[in-house]
Amino acid sequence: MKTKDISVIVNGEEVRASVPVRRNLVDFLRTDAGLTGSHVGCEHGVCGACTVEVNGATVRGCLMLAVQADGATVTTVEGFAASGRSAALAAAFTRRNALQCGFCTPGMLASALGYIDRGGTADRAAIREHISGNYCRCTGYQSIVEAICDVIEERTAP
């Protein structure tokens, strides 16, 4: 098996590892960095459970190789929580019952933050379109959309 030495800044800390070149980013995060918050679902870019942030943009952790992230800055759900960036969103998810089993939640939070932090508005159709690449099999999305709306409305309230 071919391997390569990589260095990735994960949630503000450097992670150095010798990884098989075929290892995707989300498996690197779970296996090498020990961060199991990012989930592995479909492994072909459809379900969104592995969504993380790379150099400030949300990406699918299963559609990127760990070696492609060499030198990059990665933020996972653990990083969003530690920095407080997801605090309001997590509270809104709890309040709105926007999760049941929680499998989709880390990816859902990453996608939602990508929308909110880029100035997305409390437009329910736009939010639904934005999270259309994140599958939830429990809640039916209504409560997730409401939670995201809550955070945007809290931020934009006078």
Among 7-15, 30-38, 57-65, 91-99, the segment contacting other proteins (CB under 8 A): 57-65
Q: Does 87 bind other proteins (CB under 8 A)?
A: no
DSSP 32: I
57 - beta bridge partners?
54
How far apart are alpha carbons 17 and 3 in whole angstroms?
10
Query: Binding to other proteins by residue 112, rule CB under 8 A?
Result: no
Two tokens at 116? Answer: 């909110």
Q: How far is residue 93's CA from residue 113's CA, in Å, rounded to a whole number?
A: 13
Beta partners for 65?
24
User: Is residue 62 part of the contact set for other proteins (CB under 8 A)?
Assistant: yes
CA distance 83 to 99: 22
Select from 29-37, 86-94, 129-137, 146-154 the region that touches other proteins (CB under 8 A): 129-137
Bridging pattern class, strands 13-20 and 51-54? unpaired
Told to check if 1 binds other proteins by CB under 8 A, we report: yes
The residue written with tokens 């800044």 in the block is: 9
Closer residue to other proteins in complex, CB, 140/158: 140
For 95, the 3-state DSSP assignment is: helix
59 binds other proteins (CB under 8 A): yes
**Shortest spacing between CB 157 and other proteins, in angstroms:** 25
The stretch near other proteins (CB under 8 A) out of 1-9, 30-38, 87-95, 140-148 is 1-9
Q: Where do contacts with other proteins occur on this chain (CB under 8 A)?
A: 1-2, 4, 20-24, 27, 43-45, 48, 51, 57-60, 62-65, 67-68, 111, 114-115, 129-130, 132-134
